[in-house]
Every structure is written in C-alpha cells, then in structure tokens.
Structure 1
Amino acid sequence: MTEDIVVAFRHFLQKLNDSEDALDPNVIREAVGDICRISDVAKLEITFYENIELEGSDNRVKLVLYENGVHDDNVIVDRRVTDGGGVVIYEFFHLNGGAEWCDRIRNRLALMISILFVFNSRQMLKQVANRFAYIDESGYHNLRYFCTQVESLGGKNDLQGKAVAHFNLRHFQAVNNQIGRKNGDTVMRRFIDDLEALTGCEIPVCRIGGDNFITIFDADKVDAVFGHLSGAVVRFGEDYGESIMLSATAGIYIVEADYRYAGISDLLDKVMPTSYIAKSAGREDIIFYSEELVNTKKHNATIQHIFPEALKKEEFLVYYQPKVDVRDGRMTGAEALCRWKHDGRLIPPDEFIPILEQNTDICKLDFYMIDHVCRDIRQWLDEGRQLPRISVNFSRKHILDVDLLKHLMEIIDRHNIPHHLIEAELTETTTDVEFKDLKRVVNGLQERGISASVDDFGSGYSSLNLIKEVPWNVIKIDKSIVPIDDDDESSPRTVMFKYVVAMAREMGLECIAEGVETKTQVEILKRYGCDIAQGYHYDRPLPKDEFEKRLDGIGIRK
C-alpha cells in the first residue's frame, strides 16, 4: 500500500475503534471517506434486508455512506449474509473520469468491506447482549441497567440534588382482571411514560419485576412525582375512549447535600426498605426515607429476632378485658389480649403486634394465645367456675391458611373445651380473594359451634356486604365510630353508630361497642340499644388473677 492508503486505513480503523456505536451511519461515513476518495469511488451505498426472503423487495433499509462526484456505470457489488440470517449489500459506484479499478483497488475495497462487516456484526452482537443484559422482555430497562447508571453518577459525585423512588403499582392484578392483560400492559407503559415525561430525566424508569419499578430523578421534581404516584388517570382502548386510575405505594429517598456515595447497595438499602414499609403501612402509601425510619427498621428487626426465644420462654401473657352488659353491669364475656413481659418491662401490644404482622410470626402468636386461653378455661372449669364466652383475636394472615380450622380445633379439643366458650375475632378484609376465604373460615367455625365476630367494624373501608354475606354472631363496633361526650345526635359518628346498631339488631347479631370510657357513652349505648360495652369505663385489661375475681362476681360494674 502507498503511504496515503496506509494512513487512510489507520484512520478508518481508528474511527471504528473509537466509536461507541459503529452502526451509526455518521460514524461509518467519516471512517470510509479517505479510502473511498483515494480509490476513486463516487458513491458507496449499503442496503439491509432483515432476511433472505425479503431480498430484492422494498422492505429494506438503504443508506448512502459516501458520495463525492458523478459516477459512471462501473459498479462493484459485495453481498454478505449475517449470522442472524440478514442480508447486507455494499455497492461501490466508480467516479466518472477516475482511474480504472485494478485488482489492487478492488481487493482494497473488499478488505474495507470485510473489516466494516465484521466490526458491524460485533457491534450488533454487543447491542443484542446489552439488550438482554439491560432490557427485559417487555422493553423496560431493568435493575442492572439502573445500577450501572447510578454507579456512573456516584463515581462522578453527581448524586447530590437527586431523588430515588422505588414503587409498586397498587392492585395491578385487579387492573389486569378488570381490563384485560393487553390493556393492562398498555396502561402500565403509559403510566411509566408519563412519569418519565414529568421528571425529564435521561435515565429511564427501570422495572425490577412485575409491577415493581425504580427511578432516579432531579429532587426538585419530587412533588410532581409524588402527585403522579398518588394517582393518575391513564387512557387506553380504541381511540383512548376508556380510562382508569393508577396509583402506587412508594419509598422515596432524597439524596442529602453532603451524601458520599458508598456503592449502589447503600442507595438501595435506603429506598427499598422504605418502599416495603409504605406497602405495609395501610393508607400511608408514599413514605420518605429518614433516620427515624432507619431506627424503626432496626427496632422491628430486633423484635423479629428475639420473638422466637420469647415465645419459647412464654414471655407473652394473657390479659382479659371484660365485656359488660350496660343495663345491669354484669360481665357477659371477655376478650383475651396479649401483653409481653420482657426484661422486667410489660410491653403494650402496639409496640410489637404490627411488627409481627409483617410476616407469619403473628400466626404463631395467635396459636400461642388460644392455647394459653384454653389452659386457663380448663383450669377454671375444673375449679367449678361459671364462665362466659372468651374471644381470641386471629390475624388476617390466617385467612388463606386452609388448615386454620384444623389447627384451631386440635388446640381446643386437646384441652377439652366446650366449643360455645370460644369466640374467634376476625378483622375486615380488603380483597375479593380474602373475602371468599373469610366466608369459608366463618362458615367452618359455625359448623363447629364456635362463635365468630367481626372486629373493629368501621375502622377500615367497611362494606355492608361483609355483614350480609358472612354469617357472623357478633359485630364489634370500633371506637372510632362510638359517639363521644361532645357528639350530638346529628354528628356523623352518632348517626353511623345508631344505624350500625339498628342493622345488627335487625339481623339478630350481638353488638359490642369498643373503647367505652365514660358514663355519658354508656348512656348513649343504652339510648340506641347497644347492650354490650368493652372499655376502660368498666375494666382495663386484667391479668389472670384479677380477672378471676371478676369471674367470681366480685365488683359488679355500673
């Protein structure tokens, strides 16, 4: 090769090697320019066909990679087939008036095409590999891609002023069931596209899996992101004539000004647990990371860690809170409540029950409680005491357990307890699946002679269908809708209470008001026909020895 062509090939190879995308036509044009000029090429065209069957059709991509001057009829055609079955055709058009193409020039052009073809093929393989590595089957960028982008920002100390959100679309399975999976895919894509448009961030929202996403964006867009995740109308269907509201539970971490990047795991350890807390937090769907949240997480982990040993050592105690007939002060029943005595301190339930409800530990505690209640009942029966019905709480997490009734009856019958002395308190449910299983459980309890009560009625999104469809024995009205001293007859709380009591009486259900603390509330209960009360006006939760005095009739409450 002459010195000019050697320099041209070096330039050609350098340009391809330096480029991050050798499939970019602009990169190729710049790379091949010197070789084409020295070789008297007027034009270089490249044509792509996706497969051999399409060759010769209009279903193709054609690019002009070099053009300089007028060409004559002398053309070199070089056809290549890729490993993927595609066809690439390179066409060199001879410069009119230029030197004739000798074998040396033809070989030179063939060499250039071979190098270009191999390099393009390698880049295509890299793109395919990158797609599999960074993009999921639905076209969303994945967690691996998110991590590489954040690592890049962290390495340049560019995370300050950013915020990270990890979120789950709420009830998306129900959305798919309602509008169909195809439309579900569409509304998910549009919800994410709209979020990306709001943030304007170069890094796309990435999907971790299912309806689970993560994104990083400028912190000054937090309010907009919060609003979108709280609820956004998404249109779908033919000509977008239908719409649906989508929302998400989310954890958001705003990167502090003095934050020092310590690796992607540090960032994920802040935002992902925050999201999980939000998902289990009831109505607080979006939570921001804070040091207080970190301390809560550590406390929760400690409780979960020491729980098995505490259960083994029987640190959990049964306290009994009487249920009282407001007409004469007689005790008509009692609720078994859990207290935890650990390291000399009596821990109230609101400090550990919500933590145990985050996993199946609460189910273990529930079975522990019914076992200890049955032990006490057996002792009292053997001592000749007359007993009212004792109610025991069962977490919603039991509802999907097909063996719940079997395990419950094994415990009750092992202690030879008459079934009518046990009442199972169950909380309201939130999904159709839970509702069906709740009906199954309550029907099973009824068949076995065990009473069932709906606990905390009115505290959540109560449904009259819950009362109509499930054969309860008892409704326990949550203290949030029990009138207080300052309520008049037209207050929402009083109106709701009055009609819930009337409905229960008409349906033949026993009605109990929870959280009764004053004499005025007792008079309100009498006025509206709610005969049973539970609360501090009559009794605080009592340890076993004090409850035994109540069983023996010491201290009728008025």
Structure 2
Amino acid sequence: MADNKLDGSTADVLLNDLNDFKDIESLKSDLGFDNLDEVVYNSSSSFDISEIADLLLDNIDEFVFITDAASKNIVYINKPLTEALGLKQPFVGTCYSIIKGRDEPCKECKSICSNDDKFHINTLVDCALKDDFIIKSRNINLYDRTYIINVAIQKKIKHSVVDLDTTFNDVIAPYTIIFSKNIHNPDILLYRFLEHLGTSIDANAVFMYEHVQLTDENGKNKSGNDQSDVIKSKLTKILLWTCQKKEYDVAHQNAPVDILDSILTEQIVKNYTHENDHYCALPVLLDEKILGAVIIKNANEDRLKTLTPCFKTIINLMASALHNRIMQAEITNYSNLDPLTKLKNRKCLITDIPSLSVAKKLGVIFINVNGLKNINNTSGIDKGDTILKKTASLLKQLLHQSEYIYRLGGDEFIGIYPDIDEHEFILLSDMIKAFMSSDKGFSASVGTSWINSGMTIQNAINKAESDMYTEKKKYYRISKNENERYRIQNDLIFDILEPAKIQELIAQDCFKVLYQPKFKIQGDVAQIAGAEALVRLIINDKVIPPDDFIPALESAHYTHLIDYFVFETICKQMRERLDKGEKILPVSCNFSRHSIIRPEFKTKLKEILNKYDITPNYIPLEVSEHSSTEHHKELVEVTEKLSKEGFNISIDDFGTAHANIYTLADLTVSEIKFDKKLIDNLGKGDDEKLTTILGVLITMCKKLGIKTIAEGVEDVVQKEILKNLGCDEIQGYYYSKPIVEDDYYSKL
C-alpha cells in the first residue's frame, strides 16, 4: 500500500529520510554522524544506536520500535513507547507479545510483504496502548539481517469522531483502510463505511439505498403496466446504521420518499428538513450513472461541514464497493437461476436446503412435464421451451407465497412450502394436481409430500419424486398409443421404475452384462482391442430390449443404479481374471447424463476401482454426445476431473448430435465413436459426401491425438472403407455380436 502522509508528523519526516536508505554510507550521512561502529547486533538481540539517534527518537511524539523480521523480537523501543507500555527494560520479548499481548504472531502482520520501496500501513486495534493507532512499517537490511522500522501514530480521528482541525488526508485515511481490508466483502465494506461516516459526524442514522428498476422478466413493472414508454425505478434500502448511544427507534426506519425521488431526478448533494429531522442526501454515482444513495439523518452540522470537502472521494469509494456488490449479486443470480424460466436451479436448491431444514413443517411438490421430448421432436424446441415457461409461470402463481420454487433441469420442477399445515398443503396440492392435468395444451405429473420436521427434507423430496413417478406411470399407460417413445413399453417396465425394485432385479441377476468386442483394423490382420460393456434385462425369461427399458430408466432418473452395477461387474470380472494370471484388455462402460452430473459420481467410481484394485485406464467411460447439449458445463467439469484421475473419456454416438466439433474442442476426450447411423450408409449407393466427411473427421482426430472407433459395422465393404480412411477400431456384427464374458475372454 502506498505511503499515506499525515502532514506535520515528525515521524513521517524521519521515515521519509529512512525511505531513501540505499546502503550503509547513506545511512551515516542522513543521520548526521560519521561513525556507525556503535551500531551492533549482539547475542541478546539488542540493537544499540548512537546517543544522537537515541536522543532524536526519544524526543518525538510518535512511538517507534524496531523488530527483527525473522524472530519478531523487539530490538529497539524509543522512550515514549517504553513509558506508554510501562516497561522497566526495553528488550523483553516479541512485538506481538509486548504490543498486542498475544502468544503467537499476528495474522495481519504485514512484515512478510513489506519491501525497500514502500511503507505498509496497518491498524493496531485492542493493543496494550488501549487506543487505536496506525502503524507504518518498512524493512531495512543491516549486516545481512533484516529489521523492520515501525512508527505507531495515534489517529487524529479519535473514537471515529472528526476533529475540526483535521486535514483531508486525515479524514480519508480510515476509509482507505476500511476499503483495503474488506474489498472482497462489499456488504461488510459498505456497512463499515456507514458506521465510520455516522460516528465521525455524530449522526442519528445513515441509510444506504440501491437503485433498482421495477420490471419483471416480461418487461412489465410490478403493477402490471407496460414499460415500453417509461421505465420506472426506485431506491431500495439495503443497509442501515444507527447510533447506539442515542435513543433511536430503528424499526421501520426509511428515508422520506420525496428525498429519494429527488436523488433519482436531480442526482446532486442536498439538505432536507422533514418532520423536524434534518437529512443530507448523497447520490452514489459511477460514470454518471446512479447506483444508489446515502442518506444521513441529524448529523452534527459543524462536523458535516468539515466532512463536505471529502464527500466526493468518500462517495467514489462507496460507488466502487456498491458496484462490486451489484456485480457479485448478478453473478450469484446467474449461477443460481435457470436462464429459461428465471426460477431457482438445482444448485440453489442445494444451497437452500440447510435453511429449509430448520422449518417446523413443510410441503414438497415435485412436477414433471409429460411428453416433453415428444413435443420437442414433433413441434420443435421452441414449443417445448414455451411449455416450460408456462409451467414455471403457473407454479409461481399457485405457490405465490413461497420463494422456494426450482427448475431442477429438463422437464422437472420442485416447489417447497415451509411452515404450512398439513390440511392446507393437501388442499393446495390437490388444486395443483387438478390444474396441471387440465386441458391447456400440455399436462404434468405431480407428486407431493408433507413432513412435520424440516430436518428430514431430503426424505420428503425423495418421497414426492416417487409419488410423481407413480402418476407418470398412469400417464404412460393412458397415452402409450399417442406417445411414440413409450408405445412399445408395457406394464412390466412401468413396474420396475422404483429404486427398490431395480435393486431387487440386480440381486436376482435379471440384468445381464455382455461384451461387444472392438477390433483394430490398421494392419494385415484385425486384432481384438477390447470391448464395450452392454446390459440386457431378462424378466420371467422375457428379454426386454435396451431401447425399451433404458429410456424408461432415464426418464425416472434411475439409470445411475444400472450404470454403477455394470461398472462394478466389469471391475469384479477383471479382478477375477487377473487373480488367475490371465490377460485383460480395456472394457468401456456407458454412463447416462443423469449419472454423470450426480455429486457422488467420481467418488463412486474411485470407490469401486479401489475395491477391486483396478486402474482407471482399463475402463474408458463412454458418454453420449447428447449429454453435452443439456448439461454441457457439468460435463466439461466432470470429464476434466476424471481425465486428471487417469480415466479415458470416450464420446459415444458421435456425428448424430449438433455439437460435434464443439464437443471435441471443449471436452477432455481420448476417443470418439461414430454412430451406427453414419456407418449404415457407407458402401450403399452414392456415399461420396459421407466418406469425405468421415475422412476429414478421422484426420482431424489424429491431429488431436484422439482415437476413432466405428460402431455398427456389418459388412466387409464398410470395414474396408473405414480402414482406408484411417479409422483405428471397429465394432459390430461383421466381427462379433455381443457375447458373454467367457466367450469374450476366449477370444483373447
């Protein structure tokens, strides 16, 4: 921090002289004596100065002490400080024990960062001197040792009250200190400003207001009037400081409306009298734009006049802090709000749960829009977005007394109503269920749960979600002939959409893990390179295709149970082979986007790997490219962390989504798999364009060090085209269909 001079200070003169020290010779000259042989460092850590220097330092008003930078031992104290501290002998310990009465060095000690070019200013609070001091410190090197020269200067602003003879620098110094100490916490910074401002001018109260516009997300103000011609705005109170030493009622205290209106229109410093109270209004401006206002109530007029020349500088500091506060609020809102619906998001729900858990009772409403994917496919994404915004708007109307409404992602919403009686919540939830099932162009499945203790809020959320999926099953059964995605699903699939049922099927060995081998094709002979793990569901000897049960599990957000099961099965089988001394090759496992964004995802994978002592490079993680379209930020963060842990990331279904190149540029990817839909058209008629595109992609991946794999290869023509294009590996029925574990390992 730059040196803030306090005019007329003898110590400043001394320190300004010391600031020019370059070597020992200049030290001799500046102090006015030729022989510095008496300046010695002895084994008792005492630092003796010539009588001239001693006399000089003992006859100034400021307190001076010198410390050893390494040990913090005081090696010199001048007479005024010795007397003030009541010391009988000067060299008795460290600066933190003598000055501050502490057992260990002060955390705020600036000696580590002080250097030969600058003074560093700190405030001594609650020190042995029982007063508030500013300490100015600077390093100096003598005889290969570093010492810190400290001058403790008593503040001219005593007890935060401005003396009438203070200078501009005296007034501003405390604000700069407050600013530097609290720059990363604008709310505390602004309150400290108000506190010091109020006490220094002996005011009853100081208010801080922030400028806001009265518009909602639809461009209308809170009263519903169109804002196309006039944008209304106001100043909203955000902070209040009051003088605790005076009788002052802080309840419902606000600045008069006419004062605030005047600030918005005139934007100049003004004095007002309102109901026998005197107000001083200061607009807070940044680049001629009003950010807010500071209102001072019943200040000492003489002290206020003394402060007036400093208003501009003080307000500039406040404007910077207020701007920082506004920017932090905008960043927080951006990260905690869903950009489409303007509801709170999943991250905000996690943040709010601790405060909600203290509620004595609360109700949870879990909502899932029915058939949203089908709407997006048939009517367009814009239509789907419109339905999501309508759902959000309906929730805000129906739960208008609750601020806890969230869009969890995709088609899911949740509303939490704290401190509501059970019978009231039942009436509310029945109304919402009836409203969401009514004919309005779309419908939603609604699940509810009420608890009498917020401590079990997570259980209530889970129960409401389960209740919602019970309603969702009814929708699927009713609309299965209208909804193409679920047309082939039967009641058997609906019945497994419960976590307990899925775990039961896993225990009964109904989920079977198969291996789809991969083959290297660059060379004279194709060689097996590994496999992809696939899963099949068999119930009562009936094989349920993955295209049936996987979408159902994804819709219910239960795919993580199957993903973890397959991953652990592969690890277990690898460990069994290794224990027999047999060879293993990498086997990739698929993970849905719902699994990837789960908070325990990375920890769970590492836990399973450690259990079976398998290194992550043996199990590449296949991620569907479609994952990046809905949760791209989360996917980037997770894949980057997993890559650092040694996992290889493979992008599945490459070439069928809209973000191919963007995916490669943004994600930490080891390999990509071309989707079967691309491979199906190779060798069939005019495929020149497709061949050219695949060739460009393969060449690009080679330059990026990314392995290329083609899935769904079924004939020799497709294999030869891919080989000529430089594709690394293929998988498909041409070489092998999905096979059981023993058949796969026999191929090795």
TM-score normalised according to structure 2 size: 0.37
Higher RCO (CA-CA < 8 Å; seq separation 6+) = 1
TM-score normalised according to structure 1 size: 0.48
